[in-house]
Amino acid sequence: MTTQLYRHFDESRSLLYVGISLSTFNRLSQHRDHSDWFKSITNVTIEHFPTREEAMAAERNAIKSESPKFNIAMRKTMAEIEKEQKALTQEQYRLEKLAMAERKQVIERYVQYQLAYHLDDLRGILGITKDELHRHVAEGRLYTFEVEGRMSHKSKGLKMKPMVSGWALIDFINYLESKKK
């Protein structure tokens, strides 16, 4: 998995901190919340590495050779650093696997996947009223497309029927689940 090596500098270009992350910007927000030196950051550089192992090696070298001011890891042995990073990698993997399992459960709980669904079918699947469903469509949270077909077996002639793709339904279910959290 691509991993980023980042460096934080102050206004005099002194190196404050070196670290690695899958998302430097998410990690930056953690530093904002937990690091006294965060307000001193005026510049951030980012390098991309194809694997976490390569990024870890580059981080160790940078800490050793560049002496960042606030790296706690500088005061630890390389064995301690590697042990902590391995545990972090395993925790990230566990969390990603959990997120994928939760997404699969959500999808399985609601639907047996089809390529397209009629709006009337979705009301029953999702357990929402016709007005709620139409509001979500009107507000752009649920995307529809139209197909030509009979509205019922008694209809004479063809009309345009609004449909929802299976992928649009999955995205909408994820939206509904995120609102519950």
Which residues pair with residue 6 across a beta bridge?
19, 46
Dig out the tokens for 35 from the structure.
Answer: 């690091």
Is-above-0.85 flag for pTM? no
3-state class (DSSP) for residue 107: helix
Residue, of 58 and 110, whose pLDDT is higher: 58
Alpha-carbon span 160 to 76, nearest angstrom: 68
Closest CA to 15 of 2, 25, 23, 5: 5
Rounded Cα–Cα distance for residues 169 and 118 (Å): 11
pLDDT by residue (tens digit) across 2-35? 899 999 999 999 999 998 988 888 888 888 888 8
Burial of 17 (0-12, 13-18, 19+ CB in 10 A): buried
Q: Residue 142 has what pLDDT?
A: 86
CA distance 21 to 24: 6
Three-state SS at 11: coil
Compare 99 and 32 and report the one with higher pLDDT.
Answer: 32
Q: Residue 114 has what pLDDT? A: 67
Task: Return the sign of the alpha-carbon dihedral for residues 12, 10, 7, 24.
Answer: negative
- Number of other CB atoms surrounding residue 48 within 10 Å: 11
Using CA atoms, how far apart are residues 145 and 137, in angstroms rounded to an integer?
A: 11
In this structure, are residues 93 and 58 in contact, taking their beta carbons and an 8 Å threshold? no
The predicted-structure confidence for 46-97, as pLDDT tens digits, reads as follows 999 999 889 999 998 898 889 898 887 555 666 676 777 777 777 777 777 7
CB atoms within 10 A of CB 64: 12
Judged against a pLDDT cut of 60, whether residue 100 lies above it is answered with yes
